[in-house]
Structure 1
């Protein structure tokens, strides 16, 4: 199955009804992450045969990190000549409009990989605001870090902490999220669980249960597919290039997809009662 088609199908399944909220509010938040314990670096690298500007980072904190984003803003001493040259390069490579020239230069890198203590993440693409990959290291040389957003697990809750590089201050979002979520309906008993530390519910009702599990390898996805087959999901089976779809004899359908970028599994189960007309 074509990847774009599969993503559209999964999106349609989860968009038909709302999903339950898994967010809670902490009454007395306290920051626990020190930005010095996240060792990051930006440099040029080759991905899929193309030169790109990439972020690497190592988690030296005492917590499992589930998300790390760095935003960058332009330095104060940028000359108009430097900015004009960069604009011309970006416009040529990305086809941006003239409006981009009047905006401040910026950049960001965002990773949703689950990173345990002492583990590292390589090759996180740095991007322009409109999701184009940064391919010229000179763009980064005109930047300075602005805000770091760190998501981490503590007692099965995901906390979001921010660090302002200019003010050198930390802040913690009052909202937290349960790290390992699961369905409260009978559909949750009919689809295999993963061994992921972070599982996010996308949709959960009597017709469909869809979740996204982070921090899993391709081999773990293959093992997950095998478990689905052992449970009887082998009717009209399709399994091609990280995509799986199969029915049970009772008419339940499971679809699952593996994402190489954030090492995640998105899987969903439909009840035989599902009707999308």
Structure 2
């Protein structure tokens, strides 16, 4: 008798453990600030800003999110300093169990640019599938599906341009996920780029991971990318991360919870091949990020 199957991750979350380990908590080349608050009437506000160290440009956004849990409704409205108005409406488990409807729109008033993406998600034990319709681009219909059983995962994605009447993009992936480790293989970009990722929780305090990318379209000298990293918890409130890639870029990150809801992160990137090069301006980067979650 087989065990009950969990709901597998979505297509975009295949390899998420490795991607988060190697991609998050490295605030490099900018300074960011994020403030989150929640009102008694179930409205969540988020204000974020970032200053690019190279260009000194500052960008930010303000977001308000309203939750109506009895009706499975989430309404989100945001406005960026680039004058982009974004709206998102989500309805979950109301049409049928496991079905979620999502409409995301964006409007730039000064240029008239607009976008609208309608998403339908259906998930149940052993299956996670999504369908997207990009109304103003194409229109383009995209679908992806992930099937999981006993830890094994198989997924595929394809996009169809309705106007041109042809498939414009396709990809596939296979993987295996266990509580302590996960392995994922992707064939992306119409099977022109292949990626392999590995994640391992060595013990409760140590995580390790690696990712390799092979691009058949790049030159032989630059068609392979490799990155390895690790995360170590110093205590319940702090951890450090480190990663290095095959071009010699070493990145370090340190995150500290100063108090409940207040977190600070610091990042440093070093070009290890140019440590003794006098012309190292721009080769090494530093950054920081601060989060206040009320």
TM-score by length of 1: 0.27
Higher helix share: 1
TM-score normalized by the length of structure 2: 0.26
